[in-house]
Structure 1
Amino acid sequence: MMTENSIELAYFEVNQHGRLLSGNRRFCRMFGFEPSELQWHYVTDLYRHASDWNAFRNDTVNASFNMRMRNRRGRSFDCCITREIIQNADGEIVFRNTVHKVGEARGTTTSTTPLSMVFLTKCADCGAQIRVTSVAETRLRMLCNQCAAKAFPETYYTKSAQM
């Protein structure tokens, strides 16, 4: 993600329990990790104050956070974290984050990215992924459009004709 007047953004993913799932090279350089050892660490290893993780995880309103982070050597610095909350195919909540040190040039990206949540579930018949509107719907027996049209043609085509 390089643009003409900016640096590469540090990117990482973490699950709702705080385990680091992945990170790009910029993230690894910023925090002093090797890419192969990321899965052995928790995001709380990166926060200067452990209570910041709970504030980050439980806040569903804001998409951008300013926090004090620390690298593996213990040096701390102010960071801005911009996150996106998604739900993977297994129903787990995952935080996709970009992080940059406060004061770094960022190019065209802004820290006011709106918060978005995507909920996915599997079709009960064919197993295809379906986007749903809430976590509650992921627990229901849902059908994709093709399976719904096959199983309930009179209802499906009536509904689509009314729209």
Structure 2
Amino acid sequence: MMAENENNLDIARFEVNQSGRILSGNKRFCRMFGFSESEVVWHYITDCYRYHGDWEMFSSCENLSQTKFIFRMRNRKGRSFKCCLSREIVQDADGKITFRNTVSRLGEPVLAKEQAPAEETRSVVFLSKCAHCGEHVRVNTLTETRMRVLCDNCAAKAYPEAFNLAAAQV
């Protein structure tokens, strides 16, 4: 069964055997196709294909290198949508074939593991107002904006012994 990211809500995953019986499906898959998690194992994936010939093309294992397919799928209400299925073929010791699949509607964002890591170039600056003079003061975190903050000039006037430690130690 699916162990990693089994109930990740961003990626719809399901397993199906060679005859089309759904073995498992995560929450995202159930929501996408209108199943409840408890009833998903009682259904066949062939009911989710808009065109019956698509299952035949998907389940034929002649071209093992083909891992991505574009199909028209439908949910239990009969609404159809275009999907991209990515399959992984797993064969156990007895020779039984299981398809581990991820499915995403076309137009949805690309799966997180397939995205190139984007470099973050933006920097965030948090500003607060000085409690004495009202001048803008740069702070390190958003929570510091709610604190009573003094600018350097007001802090030097109000607390000279703490602000000028080098002069106070002499």
Same fold (TM over 0.5): yes
TM-score (norm 2): 0.59
Using the TM superposition, give the Cα deviation of residue 40 of structure 1 relative to its aligned residue in structure 2, in angstroms: 1.1
Whole-angstrom CA distance in 1 between matches of 2:44 and 2:103: 16
Query: What stretches of structure 1 of length at least 5 have no aligned partner?
Result: 2-6, 112-163
Using the TM superposition, give the Cα deviation of residue 99 of structure 1 relative to its aligned residue in structure 2, in angstroms: 0.2
Q: Which residue of 2 aligns with 1:94?
A: 98
Whole-angstrom CA distance in 2 between matches of 1:38 and 1:96: 15
**Contact 2:11 2:111 (C-alpha < 8 Å) held by counterparts:** no
Matched letter for residue 27 of structure 1: F
Matched letter for residue 81 of structure 2: F
Whole-angstrom CA distance in 1 between matches of 2:39 and 2:111: 30
Matched letter for residue 19 of structure 2: H
Using the TM superposition, give the Cα deviation of residue 30 of structure 1 relative to its aligned residue in structure 2, in angstroms: 0.2
| 2:74 equivalent to 1:75 | no
Q: Which residue of 2 aligns with 1:41?
A: 43
Whole-angstrom CA distance in 1 between matches of 2:98 and 2:23: 9
Residues 107 and 42 of structure 1: is their aligned pair in 2 closer, same or farther, counting only changes over 3 Å? closer
Using the TM superposition, give the Cα deviation of residue 87 of structure 1 relative to its aligned residue in structure 2, in angstroms: 1.0
| 2:96 equivalent to 1:103 | no
Kindly tell me the number of residue pairs found equivalent between the two proteins. 107
Whole-angstrom CA distance in 2 between matches of 1:80 and 1:51: 16
Whole-angstrom CA distance in 1 between matches of 2:31 and 2:107: 18
Residues 57 and 107 of structure 1: is their aligned pair in 2 closer, same or farther, counting only changes over 3 Å? closer
| Local SS of the residue matching 1:35 | coil
| Local SS of the residue matching 2:66 | coil
Percent identical residues: 56
Whole-angstrom CA distance in 2 between matches of 1:68 and 1:109: 24
Whole-angstrom CA distance in 1 between matches of 2:87 and 2:111: 18
Using the TM superposition, give the Cα deviation of residue 53 of structure 1 relative to its aligned residue in structure 2, in angstroms: 0.2
Whole-angstrom CA distance in 1 between matches of 2:106 and 2:37: 24
| 2:70 equivalent to 1:66 | yes
Whole-angstrom CA distance in 1 between matches of 2:113 and 2:66: 17
Larger Cα Rg: Structure 1 or Structure 2?
A: 2
Q: Which residue of 2 aligns with 1:10?
A: 12
Whole-angstrom CA distance in 2 between matches of 1:63 and 1:45: 21
Whole-angstrom CA distance in 1 between matches of 2:67 and 2:42: 26
Whole-angstrom CA distance in 2 between matches of 1:107 and 1:93: 25
Say which structure, 1 or 2, has more relative contact order (CA 8 Å, 6+ apart): 1
Instruction: Supply the RMSD in Å over aligned alpha carbons.
Output: 1.9
Residues 90 and 70 of structure 1: is their aligned pair in 2 closer, same or farther, counting only changes over 3 Å? same
| Local SS of the residue matching 1:36 | coil
